[in-house]
Amino acid sequence: MKGPIGIFDSGYGGLTILHGIRQLLPEYDYLYLGDNARAPYGARSFDVVYEFTRQAVRYLFDRGCKLVILGCNTASAKALRTIQQHDLPQWDAQLRVLGVIRPTAEIIGNLTQTRHVGVLATEGTIKSQSYNLEIQKLWPDVQVSGVACPFWVPLVEYHEADSPGADYFVKKRIDQLMRLDPQIDAIILGCTHYPLLMPKILKYVPRGVRIVPQGEYVANSLQNYLLRHPEMEQRCSRGGTARYMTTENPETFREQAQLFLHEAVEVENIVLG
């Protein structure tokens, strides 16, 4: 039985991941789930993020998905490994869950000349050290510095990304990161909301510093994964559709989805837990 590819995020940022994937792989069916009622996950404990993510992944599998992508850096940092190692063997050894941190870590060594890399992300992702660990495994010579940006997600979700007030918060965190390591020449946007702040980010990064959003790299990684695992590719349905579910008010989700996707969507309200 074939099924859609599931995309999960605590909020709306994962829509940037879905958008990147659909640009590259439009032929597949997708099912997006946003746990908007319990967002943000960024400052929550490991145990809480794991339990919430586990519930969402299980729900997507119950809706027919064979492969789920955690389009959320916090969930990827705090829950992915436990779900892969503990839950999947109990549920179904043929099901798969992938994250968004490793695809960016895999490519970053090719994008830095100085071998000094920065990460801008939520508090939870920075505290987890997940980017540092993944990059060090793949590129031992690359030095990683990270800064948490607690106000960046609200700026996006409250439609303030283009406001003059956003300049202060964006500049403050970029300056903080560059003070930590002035040799940084590539910065990973380790939260899926942050690409919507790109005009402000580009305004304040020093010349010659490359900005690395995730959508393109996650999409390329998924394409490579499906090529390397034809047995999973065969289990993914191909109808070119995208469906959306939220644990919050569907009308609010529709408004936010318009911001991220630039298209109108229909959304179903669901309950997790």
Q: For 97-112, what is each residue's pLDDT tens digit?
A: 999 999 999 999 999 9
Of 65, 72, 149, 236, which is the active-site residue? 72
Separation of alpha carbons 254 and 170, rounded Å: 26
Of 65, 149, 191, 236, which is the active-site residue? 191
Q: What is the CA radius of gyration of the chain?
A: 18
**Kind of pairing between the strands at 143-148 and 116-121:** parallel
What is the overall mean pLDDT for the chain?
95
Is residue 191 annotated as part of the catalytic site, yes or no? yes
Is residue 149 annotated as part of the catalytic site, yes or no? no
What confidence score (pLDDT) does residue 43 get? 82
CA-closest candidate to residue 124, choices 235, 198, 40: 40
pTM: 0.91
Compute φ and ψ for 68, nearest 5 degrees: -125, 135
For residue 132, pLDDT beyond 90: yes
What confidence score (pLDDT) does residue 260 get? 86
Kindly provide the residue ranges of all beta strands, DSSP E only, lying in 142-263, ordered along the sequence. Answer: 143-148, 186-190, 210-212, 242-246
For residue 273, pLDDT beyond 90: no
- Write out the two tokens for 29: 């069916």
Mean pLDDT on 151-160: 91
The residues, any chain, with a CB within 8 Å of residue 120's CB and separated by 6 or more, are 146, 147, 149, 152, 173, 174, 177, 187, 188, 189, 190, 191, 194
Three-state secondary-structure class, residue 146: strand
Residues 191/76, Cβ–Cβ less than 8 Å: no
Q: For 64-77, what is each residue's pLDDT tens digit?
A: 999 999 999 999 99
Mean pLDDT on 258-273: 91
Q: For 183-227, what is each residue's pLDDT tens digit?
A: 999 999 999 999 999 999 999 999 999 999 998 899 999 999 999
The residues, any chain, with a CB within 8 Å of residue 62's CB and separated by 6 or more, are none
Mean pLDDT on 105-134: 96
